[in-house]
Structure 1
Amino acid sequence: MRMTLRQPERLLEGARELGISLDERQCELFATFGSLLYETNRFMNLTRIPEDRMIELHFLDSLAIAKIVHLAPGARVLDVGTGAGFPGIPLAIAFPLLHFVLIDGTRKKIEFVRRVIEVLDLQNVIAFHYRAEDFAKVGSNLNTYDFAVARAVAPLERLLPWLLPFVKSGGYAVAYKGLDVDAELDKAKARVKAFGGSLDRVVTVTLPFIGVERKFVLVRKQSNL
């Protein structure tokens, strides 16, 4: 599978709407990633999103976080439960001056992500086969990251305790969620405080071209426990 001529233009335009400027090489990296994803998906369950929605529902959705937080050069980002590399790989392509660590508990998926990193020659991202609970047992991983992010991994009540231990004081846990997040928030509030965080805000971003709304839950780390 290769992007058609129309698709790179759609990626460029959509990224601009999110405040991101991509160059020709970055578009080529996205195209290669897309090819690897759907070629591998023929024999490994990586995604249920059809190829003709890849730009909007994988790439632009992953990049939408740039609309709500400042991803400054040098920042460290942990992607928990990255699966096939989302949102970490698109963010690593778009923000080469940031440092990304991607973890997932499924070995085959991490092997795929490592192959993507190698083929794309991405120097700012590394992937580990870890569940969040086990990654937290390595002390040097705690209170380290500017952002810990997760896309469609688990309910907030479970997810935020996985993210917050990795975030340094003043940093953010950011959960990519759908429109039904309010019910999850009520259940998660006590857990947020227990892990040194406070709910900062919930922001809705409308994905370019398709009008799908993505909600981001931002929890600020107030103190290192």
Structure 2
Amino acid sequence: MTSNLLVFIQELKEWNNRFNLTAITLENEVLLKHLVDSLAPSPYLPHGASILDIGSGAGLPGIPLKIVRSDLRVTLLDSSRKKIHFQKHVIRTLKLCQIQTIQTRAEDAIGRNPDMRRHYDAVLSRAFSSLKFFIELGKPFIKENGFLIAFKGPGGTAELSRLEPWLAHKSMRIAGVEYRLPYLEHDRRLYIVRRLRNGEKSLNLGLGQK
């Protein structure tokens, strides 16, 4: 674990005591459920990718990903003033480059910043319980060959089966990556979604279980 990740966790703990940035407060749970979980997409992000973290909250997963992947260009999007303030503090403290914050609702972001449309290689979020809502919200932000990454728990499998006809109608496909956080019993999944290219029948990102 890099020293900057440790600094980030310490800052999160200190700020959380004052501003209630996250409901998870026990140190071991912060490390596993926030920090380690945030790094799960790293193997699937191309070198130098531009990523948008929607509903980034305390900077998760965007800031940990940026710390371990300095090549990434990261935008953190959240509507909460106090959470954006924390993100900016961490960025200054760690002297992180090529990372920016935007304070607005994701639904309003493109209207206020038209350049964000089809601008990102990947759009990520840990903030949404509904996979369909995240896909609808995130799709306008990704480039033609970009993709979405959603973090889900064990319930994601049933939700995905209900979505398959809708995804086919939208000419989108999804691939799942199963992983497990250390010392925790339940499985986690990344769902990676993108548009089908001309002639494609299915999505193949070379993904499997981690």
Query: Which band: TM-score by shorter chain?
Result: 0.7 to 0.9
Match of 2:159 in 1: 184
Which stretches of structure 1, 4 residues or longer, exceed 3 Å deviation after superposition? 186-194, 208-212
Deviations 1:124-172 (A, max 9, x none): 2111101111112222101111100001323112111111110111211
Q: 2:128 aligns with which of 142, 153, 158?
A: 153
User: Which sits farther off after the overlay, 148-157 or 117-126?
Assistant: 148-157
Say whether 1:56 aligns with 2:35.
no
TM-fit CA distance, 1:193 = 5.5
TM-fit CA distance, 1:87 = 0.2
Indicate the SS of the match to 2:17: coil
Say whether 1:73 aligns with 2:47.
yes
Find the aligned partners of 2:161 and 2:20 in 1 and give their Cα distance.
33
Find the aligned partners of 2:190 and 2:18 in 1 and give their Cα distance.
32
- TM-score for both structures, normalised by structure 1: 0.80
Q: 1:197 to 1:145 in 2, by over 3 A?
A: farther
Question: What count of residue pairs does the alignment treat as equivalent?
Answer: 195
Q: 1:134 to 1:193 in 2, by over 3 A?
A: farther
Counterpart of 1:116, as a letter, is V
Counterpart of 1:136, as a letter, is I
Find the aligned partners of 1:30 and 1:36 in 2 and give their Cα distance.
10
Match of 1:124 in 2: 98
Deviations 1:158-191 (A, max 9, x none): 1111111101112111100111013332454466
Match of 1:163 in 2: 138
Counterpart of 1:97, as a letter, is D
Q: 1:91 to 1:198 in 2, by over 3 A?
A: same
Find the aligned partners of 1:219 and 1:179 in 2 and give their Cα distance.
18
Counterpart of 1:62, as a letter, is S
Find the aligned partners of 2:187 and 2:156 in 1 and give their Cα distance.
12
Q: 1:96 aligns with which of 70, 77, 82?
A: 70
Q: 1:42 to 1:133 in 2, by over 3 A?
A: same
- Structure 2 unaligned residues grouped into runs of 5+: 198-210
TM-fit CA distance, 1:197 = 5.0
Say whether 1:43 aligns with 2:50.
no
Find the aligned partners of 2:183 and 2:137 in 1 and give their Cα distance.
33
Say whether 1:135 aligns with 2:135.
no
Deviations 1:17-75 (A, max 9, x none): xxxxxxxxxx11111111110111112111222112222211110001124x1x22221
Say whether 1:217 aligns with 2:188.
no
Q: 1:197 to 1:109 in 2, by over 3 A?
A: farther
Is the Cα–Cα contact under 8 Å of residues 56 and 127 in structure 2 kept in the other structure?
Answer: no
Say whether 1:114 aligns with 2:88.
yes
Find the aligned partners of 1:165 and 1:211 in 2 and give their Cα distance.
35
Is the Cα–Cα contact under 8 Å of residues 154 and 186 in structure 2 kept in the other structure?
Answer: no
Find the aligned partners of 2:141 and 2:31 in 1 and give their Cα distance.
30
TM-fit CA distance, 1:216 = 1.0
